Amino acid sequence: MRTGLPCTFIRLAGCNLRCAGWPCDTPYAQHNADGHSYSIARLIEEVPSWPPYITWTGGEPLLQEDKLLEAIRRFEKLHFAQDLFTNGSRRIPQELLHKAIMIVMDYKLPSSGEYGQMIETNLKQLRHQDVIKGVISTQEDFDIFITDTQDLRCNRIVTPAWGKIEPVQLVQMIQEKAADIRLGLQIHKYIWEPNLRGV
């Protein structure tokens, strides 16, 4: 939804899933040991004040829920806009649902290898400002995504799994089903070398 805006990515190490069906974008963030320890005070010191926009991602950031919430509160006081990317398998803290933060939640589909890991009650709590995102490799993924998410209030976005399907194929699926969903592209992979760490 904010694609194209400059922002600071803060990537929290550790993930409870293993999406074996397609290459994880961030294998270097799957284990806690891959990260570095940061205090919130140090983060505040090091995150640039411009752009005043942070994306919290991982790994799975909600594995560090308490510290994450504390950091979000602190950056909120500093007037940062914030997004939270989550894999959908952790309960969304109620506190976040009362904040302006945009929640971008994955909907893991069969090709990911982690289908069925999402917490169902999370889905209905997503608001108009939030996003449910399906990474699509196959027609089956697409069909399941549009069926399973059709009653949600939030924005629905599909994006092609990198190296598995071409964007034009996904566009055709959207056109054929006349589905009320948006196409999302991982634009960083078109701008930089896609396998570069941090991209």
Stretch that binds ligand SF4, among 56-64, 68-76, 159-167, 172-180 (CB under 6 A): 56-64
198, 169 contact by CB (below 8 A): no
Stretch that binds ligand SF4, among 22-30, 46-54, 68-76, 172-180 (CB under 6 A): 22-30
Structure tokens at 12: 């929290």
Tell whether residue 160 is a contact of ligand SF4 (CB under 6 A): no
CA distance 57 to 83: 8
Measured over the CA atoms of residue 74, residue 77, residue 78 and residue 82, the dihedral's sign is: positive
Count of residues engaged in binding ligand SF4, rule: CB under 6 A: 12
Tell whether residue 58 is a contact of ligand SF4 (CB under 6 A): yes
141, 165 contact by CB (below 8 A): no
Which listed residue (19, 62, 84, 105) binds ligand SF4 by CB under 6 A?
A: 19
CA 3 → CA 37, 65, 81, 169, 185, distances in Å? 29, 25, 14, 21, 9
Structure tokens at 164: 């598995």
CA distance 58 to 42: 19
CB of 55 to ligand SF4, least distance (A): 14
CA distance 88 to 132: 9
CB of 74 or CB of 188, closer to ligand SF4: 188
Tell whether residue 131 is a contact of ligand SF4 (CB under 6 A): no
CB of 133 or CB of 156, closer to ligand SF4: 133
Stretch that binds ligand SF4, among 19-27, 151-159, 169-177, 182-190 (CB under 6 A): 19-27
CB of 20 to ligand SF4, least distance (A): 8
Query: Tokens 């570095």 belong to which residue?
Result: 36
94, 74 contact by CB (below 8 A): no
Tell whether residue 15 is a contact of ligand SF4 (CB under 6 A): yes
Which listed residue (59, 61, 160, 184) binds ligand SF4 by CB under 6 A?
A: 59
Q: Which residues bind ligand SF4 (CB under 6 A)?
A: 15, 17-19, 24-26, 30, 58-60, 87
